[in-house]
Amino acid sequence: MKAIYPGSFDPITNGHLDIIQRAAHLCTELIVAVLQNSEKQSYFLIEERLDMIKKATQNLKNVRVRSFEGLSVELCREEKADCLIRGMRDIGDFRFEWEAAQLNKNLGSIETLFLMTNTQYAFLSSSRVREIARLGGNVAHWVPESTHKYLFPSKEG
Ligand code: ADP
């Protein structure tokens, strides 16, 4: 099975990485697709988000990282992928993900497979990580090492 895990990854967290590792185990090939959205301002540049994910997944041989714009269903067609992978943290995610999955099924007959969060990451989001890092908090346990230097550029020199 060839699957695509799309998202903003702004930045990648250990919650995302956990989903990537578990999905990679289930797939022959997993593409992590980073959304480049000209309508929505991201905190990190697309090149930075790609670099963080590539470094964090370099030991996973069946994982490829790329950017994309536009609809996930078009990306699935282009890549000839079998399905989308999404992570699910709580009932808040469910509402949004349910609608997106229905749309993708209708737009392009694309199935979405959900992996439930590992409970230790259930509270974790990119926006919380950015906020805690901005306030000087320690996020070392919540993001891959490749993300540290982007969150704390001055400490790394
Ligand atoms: P979006 O694609 O909505 O911009 P993200 O890039 O933050 O959101 O997340 C991409 C996918 O990863 C989504 O399916 C989201 O629910 C999931 N995800 C985000 N954080 C976690 C986490 N801590 N545990 C499990 N899944 C997560």
18-70 pLDDT, tens digit per residue, is 999 999 999 999 999 999 988 889 999 999 999 999 999 999 999 999 999 99
The residue whose CA is least distant from atom 26 of ligand 1 is 87
Question: Ligand 1: distance of its center to the CA of 136 in Å?
Answer: 23
Task: Spot the catalytic one: 38, 40, 61, 80.
Answer: 40
DSSP per-residue letters across the chain: -EEEEEE--TT--HHHHHHHHHHHHH-SEEEEEEE--SSS--SS-HHHHHHHHHHHTTT-TTEEEEEE-S-HHHHHHHHT-SEEEEEE-SHHHHHHHHHHHHHHHHHH--EEEEEEPPGGGTT--HHHHHHHHHTT---TTTS-HHHHHHHSHHHH-
**Tens-digit pLDDT profile for residues 79-123:** 999 999 999 999 999 999 999 999 999 999 999 999 999 999 999
Q: Active site includes 66?
A: no
Q: Is the pLDDT of residue 157 over 50?
A: no
The class (CATH top level) of 2-123 is alpha beta
Question: Ligand 1: distance of its center to the CA of 74 in Å?
Answer: 20
